[in-house]
Structure 1
Amino acid sequence: MTFEMKQKVLFKHCDPAGIVFFPRYFEMMNDCVETFFSEVLEWPFEEFIGREGVPTAAIETRFTAPSLHGDHLVIALDVEHVGRTSFTYRMTAWCGDEKRFETKARLVFVNDSGRPQPWPEAIRAKLEAALEPAA
């Protein structure tokens, strides 16, 4: 199951040349993850952040083309692996037929001391249901 989020490139995302400043892409990625948690897992960040968290443990990103102020991106998230305390996703952003970035990241579910803990069963089941089918 691919989760998609639309994102218009706003003035706040851009450098003075009107091109997305690369750290802003990471904010967009996190917005997509947070929206995925709300809409797919039905577990909004505001319900658990503070007591628990989902920090990014690893991320690898490739920027393939610049995005400009006013572009309309579609950011797609695919769950690739669900572990006991983490999950790995692949995310790709497109503007029309042109890929703008691709990233792979692993999030870890942690307690209030920052230690990994198992996913709640209901959340784990939803993550597994969202797993990308094996090729």
Structure 2
Amino acid sequence: MPYVTHRKVRFQHCDPAAIVFYPRYFEMINSVVEDYFAEVVEVDFRAMHVERHVGVPTASLDTQFHASSRLGDDLEFRLEPTAVGTTSLTLSIHVHCGDELRLSCRTTLVFVDMDSGRPIPWPDAMRQRLVSELS
């Protein structure tokens, strides 16, 4: 079952034509991933970065833009993990406005030690939560 959350398209997300400027989608996606970790994985980014000195930087991002989103649109983000590796996590993210698909994205995150910048294995509790969410 996907993790579902909403984001309203605000003025800050738009270009002068009131259409979402594409880099802002990546900021929204990052905020959705951050919420997913806090709510589903049960480890928020503050705990990861500040307390544990670990992070989940993006290693790859494959995105298709299907239709424009405009100022005021209510976007539904559907995030599903599709693969959990020793140090990586692949996510499928689909963004809809009503019934219309606006964006689809496949991204891979890597669990890293922030001090060394090197990948490290997922802690058991995090890995178990991620695996339990696989579609």
In the superposition, the TM-score normalised over structure 2's length comes to 0.96
Once the 2 structures are TM-superposed, how far is the Cα of residue 52 of structure 1 from its aligned partner? Answer: 1.2
Partner of 1:114: 117
Partner Cα distance (2:38, 2:48) in 1: 11
Partner Cα distance (1:41, 1:116) in 2: 18
Give the percent of matched residue pairs that are identical in Structure 1 and Structure 2. Answer: 49
In the superposition, the TM-score normalised over structure 1's length comes to 0.96
Alpha-carbon RMSD across the aligned residues, in angstroms, is 0.7
Mean Cα deviation higher: 68-77 or 41-50: 41-50
Partner Cα distance (1:28, 1:122) in 2: 27
Post-superposition Cα deviations, 1:19-50, rounded to whole Å, max 9, x if no partner, equal 00000000010011000000001100000115
Partner Cα distance (1:117, 1:22) in 2: 31
Larger proportion of helix: 2
Partner of 2:79: 77
Map of 1:93-132 to 2, 5 A cutoff? Answer: 93-111=95-113, 112-132=115-135
Map of 1:4-19 to 2, 5 A cutoff? Answer: 4-19=4-19
Partner of 1:41: 41
Give every structure 1 segment of 4 or more consecutive aligned residues whose post-TM-superposition deviation is greater than 2 Å.
Answer: none
Unaligned runs of 5+ in 1: none
Partner Cα distance (2:5, 2:31) in 1: 9
Once the 2 structures are TM-superposed, how far is the Cα of residue 53 of structure 1 from its aligned partner? Answer: 1.0
Classify the secondary structure of the residue corresponding to 1:19: coil
Unaligned runs of 5+ in 2: none
